Structure 1
Amino acid sequence: DVVCFGSREVARLLTLGIDVGVADLSITTRCELAALLDPPDAMGRDWSILAVKLNLTDQVPEVDSTGQSLSRTDQLLAEWAIQQPEHATVGRLCEILAELGRADARDTLYRTVPLYLFAPLDDTVHPADCGDSGVVSSCHSTGDPRTSSIS
C-alpha cells in the first residue's frame, strides 16, 4: 500500500522481485551467479547439485560437455526457465540456494534483483487518454514556416 500510494492500478503494474522469472535476470546477476556456482565446490554445492535441485539431471551431461566456453549455471537456469517457467522464479531459486547452503549466491540475488518491477504498459495511445483539451489550434504547421497561418 505504501509503495503504490494506495492505488490499485499501480499495484496491478507491480511484480515482486521474488516473483520475477529467472529468464528475466540481468546479465550482471547471471554473471555473478555463474562466478559463484560454476567452479567446483569442495562440498559439491556447485552447478551440478543445482541441476539436481532443479530436476534437470538429464541435462547434466549436455551442460558438462560444453566445457568452460559457456557458463554451466547460466545454461541450467535458461533450461529451467524453458522447461518449468511457472516455477523458475527468483524466490524459488533463493529457496534452492538456501537448501544448498549457498548463502553467497542467494545474497547475490537479494542484492541485484529489485524489490519491485513495473510491468510494461502497452504502447497504444487512446485518444481519451492523451490529455488533449479538444481545442484546435488556429496555427496549423505544415513544417514550412512560410505557409503557417498566424492570426
Structure 2
Amino acid sequence: MMEQTFEQSIDTMMKSNPSQYMLTLKYHPRIIRKALERIYRRKIIDPENITNVTILQEFEIMKKEESFSDDDLKMKNPNNVLNEGMPKGMDELRQKIMAMRRKMQCECGDQVAYANRGCHHLMCSTCAASPDCNRCGSNITEVDPVEFVRSSNS
C-alpha cells in the first residue's frame, strides 16, 4: 500500500471523529487544519491516535504563540459555514481555484518545475531527478520544463 502524502494525511485527519467534534464546538475548519498540520509536522503523535485533547492542547499552544483568543479560533458565523449568502457557484469556484493551486505543487510540497513525459505528472526539480514518479511510481525517462503564466488581465 502506498504511503499517504502530507495533504492526504491531513485530509484524513480532518475527517476523524476528534476533528469533527471540534467542528461541533464551532472551531473554524481552517484552525483545526492548522492545528493538525502542526501536530503532524512535529510528529507529536501518530495521526490515527489524535484525540480531542491533543487538538485542544495544540489550540492552547497556538493561542500562546500567536496571541489568539478563543474567539479567533472559532467561527464568526457558525450558522453560515457554507456561505449561503454568496452568489451561486462561488463556493464551487473557490474549491476549483484551491484544487488548481494544489496542482501547482509537487507531491513533496515544492513548486512544480517539470512534467514527466511518460505519465505527464508534474513535479519539482528534486523529484524530477529521481528515477520514479513520486505520484504514480512510473519510470522517469524524460521531463519537460513547465511554467505557469499569469494572465495579463489580472
Query: Does the alignment reach a TM-score above 0.5?
Result: no
**Higher relative contact order (Cα pairs below 8 Å, separated by 6+ residues):** 1
Instruction: Give the alignment's TM-score, normalised by structure 2.
Output: 0.25
Instruction: Give the alignment's TM-score, normalised by structure 1.
Output: 0.25
Larger-Rg structure: 1
